[in-house]
Amino acid sequence: MKQIEGGVCAAKGFVANGVHCGIRKNKEKKDLALIFSQTPAKGAAVYTTNLVKGAPLRVTKAHLADGMARAVICNSGNANTCNANGIEIANQMCELTAAQLGIQPEEVLVASTGVIGQKLDIAPIAAGIPPLAAGLDCHSESAAQAIMTTDTAVKQAAVEFTVGGVTCRLGGIAKGSGMIHPNMATMLVFLTTDCAISAEMLQKALRGDVAETFNMLSIDGDTSTNDMVVVLANGQAGNAEIAAEGEDFAAFMKALNTVTICLCRQIAADGEGATRLLECKVAGAPTLADAKLAAKSVVCSSLFKAAIFGADANWGRVLCALGYSGANIDVDKIEVAFRSPAGTITVCENGAGVDFSEEEAKKILLEKEIEVLVDLHQGTAASAAWGCDLTYDYVRINGDYRT
């Protein structure tokens, strides 16, 4: 397997585009994206667990009922959530897109991200779809730009891998955090692959992957109403369709996992206001569930995240977060170290502090990517979670008036 360029257009037969249609006032910002498979494709998705769900999610779910989809239309600037006419607008977006692409509305998935509780006007979208569709090509970056809100960086990833001797590709785009009128930290991920795989196995792969990747990511602990991860598989690679578990499915899972972890890290690093990517790796846990609870608790701790902003080796806050994580932990066995490109420093052994150089620790924590290495010394299960530091800019971005 190797990392390649191309993002959501890396897989054969997938094209994309992004334009500014006028939902956002700033004309420099694209606000409408389209992803299209030139041939029929299997589709799978996972959605937010928030009981308040954006209208686009409900329409997408209905359209994916048969496990097939060919296009994704997505706007930024308005989440189309908690609006009386949200379903109607989301359906119109699918109908307009389908008409332009010559496919059925049921083959189109729809997503929206932005401020919630404000009515979404169909007019700019209706005007934007024709040029958007006309310009479809390998424009992964344009599509990635068009789904950004407070994101400061485009997020793309792709890999090439082999299934049954056949070269396949899998890639995607993602958006990370907040809004121009900051509101909901909505996460959207669109993945495409030319690997032939049944709809059932595609859904199974995605569900399994997300539990270890996007569900282990936190910017601020607020589960959005519009989170959605979609994967489309058009089979253009020509491999024998993956229809059951086995070697081929494992190869597909590995490719999927590589791309999603890459996107997770990009999202975490570009969290609202973030100056540092935070990765907590927990080893030695009695069970996987314990490892995941422990890792996620550390990257979610406001106190620890603020300490990382201050490059403060405040390991007591790591212990505190492990202690309330709900994981089965023997406190007296915990070992904690901090690692970055500047080095590694052990700060806690057997649940108590060890002497360490504050100066060296500070040097390590001033890097852009910080790993918190936790060994529970209670078993062999391991997990990782991703987050970022808590900064003045997070407060500024989210404390601003919407108007």
Chain-centre distance of CA 372, in angstroms? Answer: 21
Residues 23-52 that bind its own copies (CB under 8 A): 49-52
| Contact with its own copies (CB under 8 A) among 353, 357, 366, 368 | 353
- For helices 315-323 and 302-309, what crossing angle results, to 10°? 160
* Cα first-last separation, the chain: 47
Which residue in 310, 343, 344, 368 binds its own copies (CB under 8 A)?
310
Task: Sort strands 277-285 and 71-76 into parallel, antiparallel or unpaired.
Answer: unpaired
* Number of residues near its own copies (by CB under 8 A): 64
Q: Residue 312, Cα to own-chain centre: how many angstroms?
A: 28
Residue 232 touches its own copies, criterion: CB under 8 A? no
Say whether residue 233 binds its own copies (CB under 8 A): no
Shortest spacing between CB 393 and its own copies, in angstroms: 9
Chain-centre distance for alpha carbon 246 = 26
Give me the residues paired with residue 344 across strands: 339
Q: Which residue type does 331 have?
A: V
Catalytic, 186? Answer yes
Q: Which stretch binds its own copies (CB under 8 A): 2-10, 155-163, 282-290, 294-302?
A: 294-302
Dist CA 235 CA 169 (whole Å) = 10
Figure out which of the listed residues 348, 372, 381, 388 binds its own copies, where binding follows CB under 8 A. Answer: 348
Residue from 60, 75, 183, 340 touching its own copies (CB under 8 A): that is 183
Stretch that binds its own copies, among 2-10, 137-145, 260-268, 395-403 (CB under 8 A): 395-403
Q: Rule CB under 8 A: is residue 200 a binding residue for its own copies?
A: no
Q: Which pair of structure tokens corresponds to residue 12?
A: 């054969």
Q: Which two tokens stand for residue 385?
A: 């979670």
Catalytic residue selected from 48, 81, 113, 186: 186
Contact 132, 17 (CB under 8 A): yes
DSSP state of 342: T
Candidates 206-214, 252-260, 284-292, 352-360 — which segment interacts with its own copies by CB under 8 A?
352-360
Q: Count the neighbouring beta carbons within 10 Å of the beta carbon of residue 4.
A: 15
Q: Does 307 bind its own copies (CB under 8 A)?
A: yes
Q: What is the CA radius of gyration of the chain?
A: 21
- Which of 84, 102, 165, 341 is the binder for its own copies (CB under 8 A)? 84
- Active-site residue numbers? 186
Give the interface with its own copies as residue ranges (CB under 8 A). 49-53, 79, 81-84, 115-118, 183-185, 220-225, 300-303, 306-307, 309-312, 314-317, 319-324, 329, 331, 348, 351-353, 358, 362, 390-392, 394-403
